[in-house]
Amino acid sequence: MIKRIMAIASLMFSVLLANAQSVDEMVEQARQLELQMKESDAFEKDKEILKIKPDDIRALTQASQLCSRIGNRQKDKSSKTDYFNQAKTYAQAALKVNPNSPDANLAMAIAMGRMALISGAKEKVAASKDVKKYAELAIKFNPNLAQAYHVLGKWNFEVANLNVFERGAAKMLFGGLPDGSLKNAIANYEKCRQLDPAFILNYYELARAYKSNDEQDKAIEVLKKALTLRNISQDDASIKADCKRMLDDLQ
């Protein structure tokens, strides 16, 4: 009887070990697909992983960020909203697994930021508070997380450019929002650039901030640098095209 129990336990351990190895291999496959700029395939792989291991925080955070990026490329608001809601759901699940995970907090900040950009005044203001909260938590748990500084820079830029209706909604809902400024946006974007000099989207947003702050020479310098960088994500080619158009307008 003891030998039988030990044999069953050994078999179960072997199955669990095999599954763990399989999931680890699938996580690496998803990562490689993302690096190969095959984001939809990477997302499908993450969904396969989550069927086997629903609480795998690596798959949850990657799936969330992929939904935010894929959703941003959709043409109609309905499709964008669907993807951004999925991004939020995956990020929420990741935060349940580990609320102190910098990547999970970053994923939530990105998802809420994407949703804010396509929302009406009240929804935009409400989402923007979460963007700041989760970006700052991501930085708290990993002070070297470049994209979190980028998100915080985007938050500052957008808050600095809220229109009168959005500011009215902020005052009505929350008594106002913390001050966002172009100066802070530039500082955040520059911190991101220091930590991740290959992140092309950050160059585009930094140039926008410099342009809005009437620092055209710095915007031109940033845009020229962006155009020399190697594409590493699926959106980089289109972002560089946006950089080229802005550069042409400034020169």
Each residue of 175-227: pLDDT tens digit?
A: 666 677 899 999 999 999 999 999 999 999 999 999 999 999 999 999 999 99
Does 170 share its domain with 203?
no
Q: What CATH number is associated with residue 161?
A: 1.25.40.10
Measured CA to CA, the distance from residue 23 to residue 12 in angstroms comes to 16
CA torsion angle 125 130 135 140 (round to 10): 130
Domain region containing 202: 197-251
Cβ contacts of 4-7, under 8 Å, gap ≥ 24? none
Does 201 share its domain with 92?
no
Does 238 share its domain with 142?
no
**Contact by Cβ (8 Å): 42, 62:** yes
Residue 190 lies in a domain: no
Which tokens in the block code for residue 236?
Answer: 């980089």
Residue 5 lies in a domain: no
Does 79 share its domain with 175?
yes
Residue 155 lies in a domain: yes
Collapsing DSSP states into helix, strand and coil, what is residue 166?
A: helix
Percent of the chain with pLDDT over 70: 86
Does 70 share its domain with 143?
yes
Number of domains in the chain: 2
Measured CA to CA, the distance from residue 150 to residue 201 in angstroms comes to 9
167 vs 239, higher pLDDT = 239
Residue 21 lies in a domain: no
